[in-house]
């Protein structure tokens, strides 16, 4: 195909466009759900308010409070003075890899992750709401309390090995993130009354958020993301349109060229026929004429039967069986009768 490059580029572009549209729809929906979510103070009235709702649930609500562990808080593994309710330790490997076309590109790969969590609630004075499944939160603002990078010292053997495998380790990075107790958070999710305790958990309407940002800041973030996605969509669709235009133009040119070639072939063919007709002897007896058209002389021998019964024009149309003996035609050749 002449436009294979354009087709591949169009495919990739449409894929990116699809992803952008999906992301745009997600941001739009998130912003809409957030805007519609009511905000409540954690106080003595909240329990009775939730208890009055259908199924004792508010599908999507915003609350703000201080992170308070329900029990003994977790201690940070690397910084003992820090305590919190969620702890995530990640080990990343930094390496250079021989990428496309032989270039070496830097890469960061997660090789180990461990997480610890404990029950906690958001409190406002003596009232609290327990947070369930905090780890699944779409936005989880945790503090990085430890970040250490150790460069790997490579031996001569490692260099040689790396040259052949195309992967060379550069170093290891350990990070620890902690959701500290006492931090002031905004939580958005489904608010449910379970027995005598209030709980906030992931909702069907939107993801769970545990963030230091306020509701309006969060909405603004989604609006900004939405705008930037819209820009990407416009760029991607423009590129798609240009590519479709290029492919159409190539297709049109190809068709046009084919049409012109066919026209030239046809003209040459008819000219050749005319020339042959002019050069033919005009006084031919009936048995010297083609059995099909009775106009042109017999010019073609059919094999294997060996009948010389057709002119060149008719031989082009008759392909299966000999018109004289009905024998299957395997090949044809010009016959020269001297
Ligand atoms: Zn004929
Ligand atoms: Zn025959």
- Using the mean position of ligand 1's atoms as its centre, give its distance from the Cα of residue 281 in Å: 15
Q: Which two tokens stand for residue 223?
A: 């609006």
Q: What is the mean pLDDT of residues 160-169?
A: 80
Res 281 pLDDT > 80: no
Query: What is the model's pLDDT at position 295?
Result: 84
Cα-Cα end-to-end distance for the chain:
49
The rounded Å distance from CA 311 to ligand 1 centre is 4
pLDDT beyond 90 at 248: yes
pLDDT at 105: 83
Q: Judge whether residue 46 has pLDDT over 90.
A: no
Q: How far is the CA of 283 from the centre of ligand 2 (A)?
A: 25
The confidence score (pLDDT) of residue 205 equals: 85
Ligand nearest to the CA of 296: 1
Angle between helices 4-36 and 215-279 (to 10 degrees): 160
How far apart are the CA of 277 and the centre of ligand 1, in A? 12
Q: DSSP characters for 222-275? A: HHHHHHHHHHHHHHHHHHHHHHHHHHHHHHHHHHHHHHHHHHHHHHHHHHHHHH
CA of 331 to the centre of ligand 1 (A): 17
How close is the Cα of 302 to the center of ligand 2, in Å?
7
> Domain ranges in the chain?
1-36+214-279, 40-212, 286-334
Q: What pLDDT score was predicted for residue 53?
A: 85
From the CA of 303, which ligand is nearest? 2
What integer is the mean pLDDT of 10-38? 92
Q: What is the Å distance from ligand 1's center to 300 Cα?
A: 10
- pTM for this model (two decimals): 0.66
C-alpha 327 – ligand 2 centre gap (Å): 5
Q: Note the pLDDT of residue 268.
A: 92
Check residues 37 and 3 and name the one with the higher pLDDT: 37
- Residue 1 is predicted with a pLDDT of 64
Ligand nearest to the CA of 316: 1
Nearest listed ligand to the Cα of residue 324:
2
Topology (CATH level 3) of domain 286-334: Herpes Virus-1 (3.30.40)
Structure tokens belonging to residue 118: 């404990």
Which positions ≥6 away from 255 have C-beta within 8 Å? none
- Calculate how far, in angstroms, residue 296's C-alpha sits from the geometric centre of ligand 2: 18
Residue 236 predicted with pLDDT over 80: yes
Residue 259 has pLDDT above 90, yes or no: yes
So what's the pLDDT on residue 245?
A: 94
């Amino acid at each position: 195909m002449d436009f294979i490059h354009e087709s591949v580029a169009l495919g990739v572009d449409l894929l990116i466009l699809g992803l952008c549209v999906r992301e745009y729809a997600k941001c739009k929906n998130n912003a809409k759900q957030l805007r519609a979510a009511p905000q409540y103070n954690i106080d003595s009235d909240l329990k009775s308010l939730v208890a009055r709702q259908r199924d004792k649930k508010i599908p999507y609500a915003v609350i703000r409070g201080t992170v308070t562990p329900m029990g003994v808080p977790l201690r940070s593994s690397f910084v003992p003075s820090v305590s919190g309710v969620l702890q995530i330790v990640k080990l990343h490997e930094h390496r250079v890899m021989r990428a496309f076309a032989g270039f070496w590109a830097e890469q960061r790969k997660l090789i180990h992750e461990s997480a610890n969590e404990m029950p906690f609630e958001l409190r406002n004075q003596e009232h609290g709401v327990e947070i369930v499944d905090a780890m699944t939160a779409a936005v989880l603002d945790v503090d990085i309390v430890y970040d250490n990078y150790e460069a790997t010292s490579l031996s001569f053997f490692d260099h040689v090995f790396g040259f052949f495998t195309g992967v060379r380790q550069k170093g290891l990075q350990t990070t620890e993130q902690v959701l500290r107790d006492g931090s002031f958070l905004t939580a958005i999710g489904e608010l449910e009354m379970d027995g005598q305790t209030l709980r906030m958990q992931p909702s069907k309407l939107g993801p769970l958020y545990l963030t230091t940002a306020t509701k309006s800041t969060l909405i603004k973030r989604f609006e900004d993301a939405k705008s930037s996605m819209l820009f990407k969509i416009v760029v991607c669709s423009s590129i798609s349109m240009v590519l479709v235009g290029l492919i159409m133009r190539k297709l049109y040119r190809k068709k046009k060229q084919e049409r012109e070639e066919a026209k030239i072939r046809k003209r040459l063919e008819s000219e050749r026929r005319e020339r042959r007709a002019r050069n033919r002897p005009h006084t031919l007896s009936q048995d010297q004429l083609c059995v099909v058209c009775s106009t042109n002389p017999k010019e073609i021998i059919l094999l294997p039967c060996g009948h010389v019964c057709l002119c060149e024009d008719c031989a082009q149309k008759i392909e299966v069986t000999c018109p004289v003996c009905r024998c299957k035609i395997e090949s044809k050749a010009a016959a020269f009768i001297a």
